[in-house]
Structure 1
Amino acid sequence: MQHAMNPLTMTEDRRAGHPSTRIVGVRTVVGTAIGEFRDDILELRARVLAGWPYLWDGASPLEGPQTLQACLDSWRSVAVLAFDGDTLVGAATGLPLADDGREWREAALGAGIDPSRIFHFSGSVLLPAYRGRGLGHRFFDERESHARIIGGFDLTAFWAVEREPDHPRRPPFGRGHDGFWHKRGYSPRPRMAMDRGWSEEGAGVVAHPMACWARPLERAR
């Protein structure tokens, strides 16, 4: 006997297969093992960073091969990967700042901080459909835990682009992540701010202000 459709049934049918209804698996890999997922991470980064707030057009380096290569070259690096089935939907990376690019190390040195005492969260991307499910916290938890296990770090830190409140390409309901970062115990470190250039569609290479956020890394309990 065929059952009649009602509004509730129709809503459930429409949600079937939606990302919010599927289980996302999280896997943590370190050092050279990250190389197995290199191409998937780069493809995901390009897809996410093309949107707000980075607006990267892919024509110049941003979070591309040169940044990920530092993770592949460091035995102390980590990648926290979120999968929907076999599809990578989120990736967060980190490594000691001393193992990362010169521009990042110089930002710390300019503030009088030894780069070897900082663990750098070098990138974090997640497809919009999978946000709001606690994966952002998981990305921070796993990387902070990894830094504690390695030991020798006073701070965990990352850099994020700053955008004008009236930027013409800001989404109508676009909100920053400042509140989330504050809840995680991070605060701006103005002395470690820096500029970094990349290409935006229709604008060419633009110098972007990058704010540094950091927090003291407590010892493992």
Structure 2
Amino acid sequence: MTTAAGDKKKLDVKSVTGEDILKVLPDLSRLRMIVFRDWPYLYEGTLEYEQKYLEKFAKSKGAVVIAAYDGDQMVGASTGAPMIEHADEFGEPFRKAGYDITKIFYCGESVLLKSHRGHGLGHAFFDGREAQAKKLGGFTHSTFCRVVRPDDHPLKPADYAPLDPFWRKRGYAPVDGIIATYDWQDIDQPGETSHKMQFWMKTL
């Protein structure tokens, strides 16, 4: 799959599964540390954490990485796997709300360098992950979560445009009461703090 990126370049988008995921983990780790450092995640990442987190993800049954390349360089990626394969703090809110998490496919991070935004990769990322869910079979819903930040946060850029319209166009909507908490260190904090994560979901 290719998508236009400017007048001369084309981006290659690949679906990576199975043991091949291990090969792309270094690039995925690099992108996560770059992109998530910006608003709204403000993530102060470490290579040690990235290695542990991504190695665990790579072992998830049914996992997929949708990777975008500009030549030989990975410039963006998104991940997905069955919800049952993820940390308990993500699945627990769904269990409490009465959902069967074995039927929910979780779309994890999407990270894309600023230099390559605006070329349709957001759609490619969702298309690829939803295709993986349908290929695996047995999933009734697809979900992802976003961090909840106060509007008056001092590090919020004045020109920030939330992705809510794009997500709604894809058929997703926030689910009332389905909120998880996850800990990480913000770039302006001395240590880890808890962050609320609002889930969005669509029917497959």
Q: Give the TM-score normalised by structure 2.
A: 0.91
Match of 2:200 in 1: 213
- Provide the C-alpha distance between the structure 1 equivalents of 2:27 and 2:68, rounded to a whole number of angstroms: 11
Instruction: Choose the corresponding residue for 1:182, options 168, 184, 193.
Output: 168
Are the structure 2 counterparts of residues 75 and 59 from structure 1 closer, same or farther at C-alpha, using a change threshold of 3 Å?
closer
1:135 aligns with 2:121: yes
Match of 1:11 in 2: none
Percent of pairs with identical residues:
37
Please report how far the alpha carbon of residue 67 of structure 1 lies from its aligned counterpart in structure 2 after TM superposition: 3.6
What is the count of residue pairs matched by the alignment?
198
Instruction: Choose the corresponding residue for 2:143, options 138, 154, 157.
Output: 157
1:116-135 equivalences under 5 Å are 116-135=102-121
Aligned-residue CA RMSD (Å): 1.7
Match of 1:88 in 2: 74
- Provide the C-alpha distance between the structure 1 equivalents of 2:127 and 2:199, rounded to a whole number of angstroms: 19
* Structure 1: runs of 5 or more not aligned: 1-18
Where in structure 1 do 4 or more consecutive aligned residues deviate above 4 Å? Answer: 59-62
- Larger Rg over CA atoms: 1
Match of 1:12 in 2: none
Judging by fraction of residues, say which structure has more strand: 2
Are the structure 2 counterparts of residues 83 and 60 from structure 1 closer, same or farther at C-alpha, using a change threshold of 3 Å?
closer
Please report how far the alpha carbon of residue 101 of structure 1 lies from its aligned counterpart in structure 2 after TM superposition: 1.4
Are the structure 2 counterparts of residues 69 and 192 from structure 1 closer, same or farther at C-alpha, using a change threshold of 3 Å?
farther
- Deviation sequence 1:45-86 (CA, Å, 0-9, x none): 111001111001115998x33442343112411110000111
- Provide the C-alpha distance between the structure 2 equivalents of 1:96 and 1:85, rounded to a whole number of angstroms: 30
Amino acid at match of 2:119: R
SS in 2 for 1:153: coil
**Contact 2:61–2:82 (CA under 8 A) maintained in structure 1:** no
- Deviation sequence 1:12-34 (CA, Å, 0-9, x none): xxxxxxx7342111111112211
Q: Give the TM-score normalised by structure 1.
A: 0.84
